[in-house]
Structures are given as C-alpha cells and as structure tokens.
Amino acid sequence: MSEEEIRKRWREDPMLRSKIEKVAVNISVGKSGEPLEKASKVLEQLTEQTPCKRKAKKTIRDFGIRKGEPIACLVSLRKEKARNFLKKAFQTVDNKLSKSSFDRHGNFSFGIKEHIEIPGTRYVPELGIHGMDVSVTVGRLGYRVKRRRRARSKVRRNHLLTLEEAILFIKDEFGVDVV
C-alpha cells in the first residue's frame, strides 16, 4: 500500500490513526549499589519521573551478577512526556532510524550511547556518563480491548498496525528518516 493510500485511510477513519502508547527508557548498569544509584539519578533528571529498579533474572558468575540483585533502572513515559522525550532522543541519533529497529507490529527501539548528547542535558561529573535503550510502543485507538482485564477481546487483523504504517507515522509526526 502506498503512502498516499495509507494517509487517505487515516483521514477517512479516525480509528486507524496511530499513536505513541508508551516509551520505555532503560539504563542497565550490571551492578547494584552506587553505579545503579547514579544511573537512577540520571534517568530521573532526564524524564522527571522516579525510575523503578529491575532485578537480575539469573546468576552469571563471570559478570559477578547474582539472581535477584538490582542491576538496571527503567522509566515508562506516556502521553505528552513521551512525545517530548522522543523529540529530544531523536535529535541525538540525528533524526535517523534503521528499518531493522522496527518489529512487524510497528514498535521500535534504539540506543543512546551517552546521555549528555540529549539536548538540554548538563554533564555532572559526580554522576558520570550513561548509555540507555529507548523502546517505543506504537498502537491505535481501540487496542485497549486486547489488554483490558474485563471483557478482553481480540483485535481484528485489518485493524492491526503494520510496519509501513508505523514508519509513515514516525516520519510524519517526528520528521525522522527511516533508512
């Protein structure tokens, strides 16, 4: 389906319009203690939300990781906070994404090597420099019926978001080039 046909379908049926459902920002440190606390403070400064800590699923002796030890921190952003963070995050990757970073349902992920590359971020020597993973979930109106607890239902195949539609949405909404 061409881009013009997709845009025409979006104009005719507002339920087919795409939206950013959530943005998950993850900093994985690999150790608990002071490095994780510093990463947590960096994430809190960037997103203005309190991050939650994630624990190791299994023991890896070579890396010195024990099962149940907190090794990462994560923040989920929604609505306007998600849009604002994404605008800044896309600037760090020069408004370019690889087509391979998208999955078949239109969700995508990318990495930021140094958090100080994000516009408006100051370097604080006490906290250091941290990289992060950004995962974006893209959906449509009506997807809630698939996830709700009561009266859960299926979403028909013709209402599912495709890869091409998600790429077009990201191009139109944020001006990102998908290579």
Q: In this structure, are residues 169 and 18 in contact, taking their beta carbons and an 8 Å threshold?
A: yes
| Average of per-residue pLDDT across 124-129 | 88
- The CATH code belonging to domain 3-178 is 3.30.1440.10
Q: Using 50, 70 and 90 to split pLDDT, how confident is the model at 142?
A: confident
Q: Using 50, 70 and 90 to split pLDDT, how confident is the model at 32?
A: confident
The pLDDT > 90 percentage for the chain reads 44
**Is the predicted pLDDT of residue 100 greater than 80, yes or no?**
yes
**Is the predicted pLDDT of residue 1 greater than 80, yes or no?**
no
Span 113-124, pLDDT tens digits: 988 888 888 888
The predicted structure's pLDDT at residue 101: 92
Long-range Cβ contact pairs of 85-88 (< 8 A, separation 24 or more): 85/23, 85/25, 85/46, 85/47, 86/20, 86/23, 86/134, 86/136, 86/174, 87/174, 88/118, 88/119, 88/120
The predicted structure's pLDDT at residue 171: 92
Where are the chain's structural domains? 3-178
**Is the predicted pLDDT of residue 110 greater than 80, yes or no?**
yes
| Average of per-residue pLDDT across 64-85 | 91
The predicted structure's pLDDT at residue 11: 86
**For residues 113 and 19, what is the distance between their CA atoms, to the nearest angstrom?**
26
| Average of per-residue pLDDT across 131-143 | 91
The predicted structure's pLDDT at residue 26: 93
The predicted structure's pLDDT at residue 96: 92
Span 40-61, pLDDT tens digits: 999 999 998 999 999 889 888 8
The predicted structure's pLDDT at residue 158: 83
Average pLDDT of the chain to the nearest whole number: 90
CA 151 and chain centroid, separation: 28
Q: Using 50, 70 and 90 to split pLDDT, how confident is the model at 111?
A: very high
